[in-house]
Chains A and B, each alone.
Chain A
Amino acid sequence: MKGRIYKILGLVLVAYSLVYGLLTEIPNLPIIEQSIRNLFYHVSMWFAMVAMMAASFWNAIRFLGTDSLSKDTRSISLAETGMFFSFMGLFTGMVWAKFTWGAWWTNDPKLNGTAITILIYLAYFVLRNSIDDERKRARVAAVYNIFAFVMMIVFIGILPRMTDSLHPGNGGNPGFNSYDLDNRLRAVFYPAVLGWILVGTWIASLRYRLRVLQS
């Protein structure tokens, strides 16, 4: 029962944000207009992705400390789930960009950050596949995971602050408090983030159990 509470909570929150995100009243902003609703569907993907990658990073550190292979299995399961969210975030963002900026892809720091993140984690999967010995693979992959996560945070969290972005509320600041994130938006956005993180945890735990069964 204990394990079910977070799954049910996650599903409820996601369902609430999907439905109520279309119904809630929104601030009337030029250009963005109705597409501001993408905040609930697109931005929450990135929060879920960073949460998954951070958990994967944490498990990689714990693997190096404890040398227990289950930590490594958790780490790869979480990274795969994070990868799924990054693709979802990319697609929802591309659709939004086509209608708001008029192009599927632009040379924007955040988009570059996404591309790099995806390349880094694809390289991580390639690395894992190229080592046969279980323990060695776990150790080498953990080292790369830790290094890569730090680089990713630098790239998506620090560098964009030093350059301009086309994203709403930007111009030196990748946060979004500076634009009109009023309480009506918050009431859907925060539950959406929490809901997707919980659902992501669930997906990762399923993948973890699958891997344990397979081995």
Chain B
Amino acid sequence: MHLLARFYRQEVRNSNVLFSLGLYLLGVAYLIYLLTGNNTSDAVWNTLLWVVVFFGTVQLSSRSFEFESEQYFFYYQNIATAKQTIVAKLIFNSLYMIALSGAAWALFSLFFGNPVYSTGLFIIGLLLGAIGFSVVLTLTSGIAQRTKGNATLSAILAIPLLFPVLQLTSALNLQAIVGVELADATNLIGALAALDMGIGLLAYLLFPYLWQD
């Protein structure tokens, strides 16, 4: 809990990060709007939304451990165990990415209209997708941090690992757009939830090995 509050304060203090991310979302959404002129099909809408969220989260996560320079690294080791750190990071990043994908959805609705038929199902997809993203990205940016500030490495490591999550999420959200009943989508929801839990557990188990010198 302490850690969560700390991460939050750190984020607020460096509000330029948040600001640049918001500007990125707005800029890209408007760029797409200019180029397509408001007549995207549902499948394209969904694809574009997830591509925008994808690059936004990769950009965000490359900063996830940015402040943990050598001094911060030792500082955290003193105030918390590796397991507490990873759990706090996972929760914090999940919330952050849920907010990010929600904001992207809102912007897309503003510019292109909202084609989503089953809103509940879409939100489930958004939540599960954002959690999956944050698990993969938290671990890979933790790995990248250990290589001493190689910022592009985080993206290189994360992109191929994100594909399974991205594919399931976009498939689920496409079903929500088309308007599939909740009962018919349980297969995909279950797969995505199981994947999230599996990789979350894996990240939790592996992080202590990473977080030592």
A143 within 8 A of B: yes
Residue of A126, A139, A150 near B199 (CB, 8 A) is A150
Taking a contact as CB atoms under 8 Å apart, the answer to whether B146 and A136 are in contact is yes
On chain B, the residues within 8 Å of A127 by CB distance are: 143, 147, 153, 157
Instruction: Report the minimal beta-carbon distance from A84 to chain B, rounded to whole angstroms.
Output: 19
Instruction: Report the minimal beta-carbon distance from B72 to chain A, rounded to whole angstroms.
Output: 18
Instruction: Report the minimal beta-carbon distance from B160 to chain A, rounded to whole angstroms.
Output: 4
Taking a contact as CB atoms under 8 Å apart, the answer to whether A130 and B143 are in contact is no
Contact with B along A134-177 (1 / 0, CB 8 A): 00100110111011101100110011001000000000000000
Taking a contact as CB atoms under 8 Å apart, the answer to whether B198 and A130 are in contact is no
A12 within 8 A of B: no
Residue of A at shortest CB range from B150? A130
State A162–B153 Cα separation when bound (angstroms): 31
Stretch at the interface among A24-32, A87-95, A96-104, A116-124: A116-124
Stretch at the interface among B30-38, B91-99, B119-127, B161-169: B161-169
State A146–B213 Cα separation when bound (angstroms): 20
Stretch at the interface among B62-70, B100-108, B109-117, B203-211: B203-211
State A151–B161 Cα separation when bound (angstroms): 6
On chain A, the residues within 8 Å of B188 by CB distance are: 162
Taking a contact as CB atoms under 8 Å apart, the answer to whether A154 and B202 are in contact is no
How would you classify the secondary structure of chain A's contact residues: helix, strand, loop or mixed?
helix
Instruction: Report the minimal beta-carbon distance from A119 to chain B, rounded to whole angstroms.
Output: 4
On chain B, the residues within 8 Å of A194 by CB distance are: none
Instruction: Report the minimal beta-carbon distance from A66 to chain B, rounded to whole angstroms.
Output: 12
Residue of B at shortest CB range from A130? B147
State A117–B15 Cα separation when bound (angstroms): 37
Q: Which residues of B contact A (CB under 8 A)?
A: 136, 139-140, 143, 146-147, 150, 153, 156-157, 159-161, 163-164, 167-168, 187-188, 191, 195, 198-199, 202-203, 206-207, 209-210, 212-213
Q: Which residues of A contact B (CB under 8 A)?
A: 64, 112, 116, 119-120, 123, 126-127, 130-131, 136, 139-140, 142-144, 146-148, 150-151, 154-155, 158-159, 162
Could you list some 7 contacts between A and B, CB below 8 A?
A120-B161, A123-B157, A136-B146, A143-B206, A155-B163, A159-B164, A159-B168
